[in-house]
A and B are shown apart, each in its own frame.
Chain A
Amino acid sequence: MQATPLDQPLLSAKTLRIDRGGRTLIEGLTFDLRAGEQLVVRGPNGCGKTSLLRVLAGVAAPAAGTLTATSVGYLGHRDGFKDTASVACALKQWCALARQQNPALDEVLAQVGLADRSLFLVRALSAGQRRRLAIARLLLRKASVWVLDEPFNALDSAGRALLTQAFETHCAAGGCIVMALHEDIAFDGAKTLSLGEAAA
């Protein structure tokens, strides 16, 4: 992870406007996230949570406004793994693309509970295991900003505990997290951005 001075925001959004299908979903959104901070984006379906996260992750461009971010790790609804690749190969390929030298594959796979699955094909994994694999890629990426879209989806209680633990470690190490969560998932100790109310 890159060393950033504590007062310097890792992610900074200024007057962001986000459109989808010709409709403005979010307007004039401004916020900064510094090391150790977590921001939970909440709101009803269709309020623009995913669109916002895609912009924050650099996948899509905002309709207006500026965004500055240090290295971003993105966990979306779709994981970008090919069914026909093995678990270890899939991770290695993404590490090569992220220019990660000698990634600690075995260590991270053990951490997410997939140590005995490294030679399995991705298509042989369950939805929850694929999610764990995507989390493994996120951990290997060593990005300072995590942008996570419904990260607890498909995870069992052990998976959820593992992810919460990873959040703590990441924030303690000087990273920050933005995540979209459903209303019914409680998450303490984080700033909240309520999109439905902001738009109403």
Chain B
Amino acid sequence: MSLVWRDIAVLSQGGRALALSCFFLVLAASLFPFAVGPDTKLLSAIAPGVHWLLALFLAVLHGERIFVEDEQDGSLEQLRALGFAEGSLMFSRIVAHWVIAFAPQIALTVVVDIFLGAGLASAGQHMLSLLIGTPALSCLAVLAAALTLGARQSSLLMIVIVFPLMIPPLIFGVSAAADSGSAALMLLGASSLISLVIAPLAGHFALKAALK
């Protein structure tokens, strides 16, 4: 638990990263009416897709820094020397990434929906889909960060790795947010659960290779 708190404290950079998430969401959401036009019907129809695209961008926005600083300043070495396994380093960073990227998004769902002219009724559905699906995005972002640790052009690599892997949660997430049918929501939950098992496991090997 102390590791999770430490990672949240370090990655949130004294709250600046949380503020970045909030500003990004509000500003990006406010641009959609300008880009698409003031047609509230159209805006509310694309609202699920907008929520989930913003989620993808947030995942990558905070994904890059997950391990880099700690690797460069020697913190990862110290954490390993303290006996923290690679899997627990992965898991705590997945939690920290989710708190920094997606907790603000879930809290601001209603605000984004107001910009998009979607009703409060649909905001609940959007929030539920984000709550269930975003852990998968955090897992994939942290896994990609572990895989690209120490690589040159790691930002480019990260985008290339992470966006294709995020397509299934994106599809399930948008359908779960658009429609209250339970099938998409269950598939979304399943992708989060599978990611929560696979990402720490795969990340274990990725970090091991990076720390060699």
Contacts and interface: CB of A to CB of B under 8 A. Distances in A.
B14 A84 contact: yes
Interface string B1-17: 01101100110011000
A78 B72 contact: yes
A78 B10 contact: no
Interface in A76-129: 76-82, 84, 93-94, 96-99
A162 interface: no
Contacts of A152: none
B41 interface: no
Contact of A79 (B69, B74, B79): B74
Contacts of B80: 57-60
Given A74-B78, A76-B74, A97-B82, A59 B211 contact: yes
Given A57-B81, A58-B83, A84-B14, A97 B74 contact: no
- Interface range, B side: 20 to 34
Contacts of B70: 80
A73 interface: yes
Main secondary structure of the interface of A (DSSP, over half): loop
A13 interface: no
A57 B77 contact: yes
A180 to B, nearest CB: 14
Contacts of A74: 77-78, 81
Contacts of A60: 80, 208, 211-212
A39 interface: no
B75 interface: yes
B2 A59 contact: no
A80 B77 contact: yes
A131 interface: no
A79 B75 CA distance: 7
Interface residues of A, number: 27
Interface of B: 2-3, 5-6, 9-10, 13-14, 69-70, 72-84, 208, 211-212
Return the 6 tightest CB-CB contacts between A and B, nearest first: A78-B74, A74-B81, A80-B78, A80-B75, A80-B74, A59-B80
A72 interface: yes
A54 interface: yes
Contacts of B74: 76-80
Contacts of A79: 73-74, 78
A78 B73 contact: yes
B81 A97 contact: no
A94 B73 contact: no
Given A61-B212, A82-B73, A97-B84, 7 more contacts: A20-B212, A54-B77, A58-B81, A79-B74, A80-B74, A80-B79, A84-B14
A73 B81 contact: yes
B6 A96 contact: yes
